[in-house]
Chain A
Amino acid sequence: MPIQDNLNGALLISAIDFVLSFVIIGGIGVVLALFPLLNRLGKVDDETLKKSH
């Protein structure tokens, strides 16, 4: 259903966008909270990377 080009449409689009933004950013936050687990896979050494080119 297309959003109507009136004030109701503006309110609806704003409400959906604001809530969805929270959900998605929150989801990114959850993924980032799991990032320390990556370190269990191993360690990437800065000096080794710099020397390898």
Chain B
Amino acid sequence: MFAQFLGLLNVLKDQTGLAQMTWGNVVMIGVGVIMIYLALAKKYEPFLLVGIGFACVVANVPGSGLTQPGGLFHYAYQGVALLIVPPLIFLGVGAMTDFGPMIASPWLVILGAAAHLGIFVALIGAKLLGFSLAEAGAIGIIGGADGPMAIFVTMKLAPHLLPQISVAAYSYMALMPLIQPPVMKLLTTKQERQIIMEKPRQVSRLEKIAFPVLIAVIVNLFFPPIAPLITMLMLGNLFRECLLVDRLAQTAANEVMNIITIILTVAIGSTMNAEQFLTVKTLEIVALGLVAFIFGTASGVVAAKVMNVITGGKVNPLVGSAGIASVPIAARVSHMVAIRENPQVYLIMHAMGPNLAGVFGTAISGGILLALLGVK
């Protein structure tokens, strides 16, 4: 009787996920819990980390099959794999973003390219560590500090690295207020950090309406590989700037953005299973991502210093680090570092120009990378 009871218990156990549970799964459940903790207790990107952390926990509990073909999380991942989710995020970003500061200071947009040296340092570093060129390209794009673009390029070049790259990209974006200031201070003098820049000009409604249309044409003409992302960014922005379809603009910026964020975070978290994530490659990618952010910040600041010399002291070099993208975090970091030096230095509007240009800088770098590697 007792033996029969134990036998039944064993049968029951085999039908649960308990039998397939590994130490790796336990570690990754811990990682998921830490993500949720960081989101709730430390307020690190809670809109992203709550969903990613929860899906990471569930993905490492064997048995339910949520992440397997047919499971709900698997379909969320398909939205990412089929490259539907990243362009929809850009639609929402476009509807939330005022590109006026970028249009007002066209000479600062060059910082959006200068601050992307990190992409190439990480790319070369990844190659030295033995990654394939396609994998190295995907890792390098972490340095663009643009989550949807990192996901988009990774899905084209090295989809098997999506969990590591997306987690590294979003984690470092959340940590930018800690990563960037030491680099910025190291490369600038106190005097340079206190430079007060001239107020940018007022941008007219006509210019704001023409901007998304023109950029959409340029990107579709010259950069077909990344056209879906920038086209949606510009569509969202046109909704916002034309003032006639405010319902659409608000839906894109709120409801669509929120729904897509849920799908995206669940999709990323669900790929973080122990087998795929607990590898030396993950540590290498995380380290390369940090290197990319540091070099990107440094190259942006150095380029802004050069501009400051050329313009006879009119550019505060702190705006250079904002060229790394990650809107508006990087611009806010530039502003905060400046205001700590001198409460009268208001850099936020000036830093938003390079910051927005950084979105295009990352997109252009990613587009060229895809084109050179022959990916459509």
Contact = CB atoms under 8 A, between A and B. Distances in A.
Interface of A: 2-3, 5-7, 9-11, 13-18, 20-22, 24-26, 28-33, 35-36, 38-39, 41-46, 49-50, 52-53
Instruction: Please list the 10 inter-chain residue pairs (A to B) with the smallest Cβ-Cβ separation, ordered nearest first.
Output: A32-B106, A14-B120, A10-B127, A25-B113, A49-B243, A33-B106, A44-B205, A29-B109, A21-B113, A5-B133
Nearest to A39: B204
A36 B245 CA distance: 25
Interface of B: 102-103, 106-107, 109-110, 112-114, 116-117, 119-120, 123-124, 126-128, 132-133, 136-137, 140, 201, 203-207, 209-211, 214-215, 218, 222, 242-245, 357, 360-361, 364-365, 368-369, 372-374
Nearest to B369: A17
A38 B205 CA distance: 10
Given A7-B127, A31-B214, A39-B206, A49 B365 contact: no
B210 to A, nearest CB: 6
A37 to B, nearest CB: 10
A37 B205 CA distance: 13
Contacts of A28: 109, 215, 218, 357, 360
Given A28-B215, A43-B204, A44-B205, 14 more contacts: A7-B128, A14-B123, A16-B368, A17-B365, A18-B117, A18-B120, A21-B365, A29-B110, A32-B109, A38-B210, A39-B207, A44-B209, A46-B243, A49-B244
A31 B215 CA distance: 10
A36 B207 contact: yes
Given A22-B114, A25-B110, A3 B204 contact: no
Contact of B242 (A5, A16, A29, A49): A49
Contact of A10 (B123, B209, B242): B123
Nearest to B244: A53
Contacts of B357: 25, 28-29
Contacts of A5: 132-133
Contacts of B123: 10, 13-14
A52 B242 CA distance: 11
Contacts of B210: 35, 38
A26 to B, nearest CB: 6
Contact of B361 (A6, A25, A44): A25
Interface of A is mostly: helix
Contacts of A49: 205, 242-244
Interface of B is mostly: helix
18 contacts: A3-B372, A13-B133, A13-B369, A14-B120, A14-B140, A20-B364, A21-B116, A21-B364, A24-B364, A26-B113, A28-B360, A36-B207, A38-B204, A39-B204, A39-B206, A43-B204, A46-B205, A52-B244
Looking at A2, A29, A46, A50, the one whose CB has the most chain B CB atoms below 10 A away is A29
Contacts of A45: 205
Contact of A29 (B106, B128, B132, B209): B106
B205 A21 contact: no
B373 A3 contact: yes
A37 B127 CA distance: 46
B215 to A, nearest CB: 8
B110 A26 contact: yes
Nearest to A45: B205
Contacts of B365: 17-18, 21
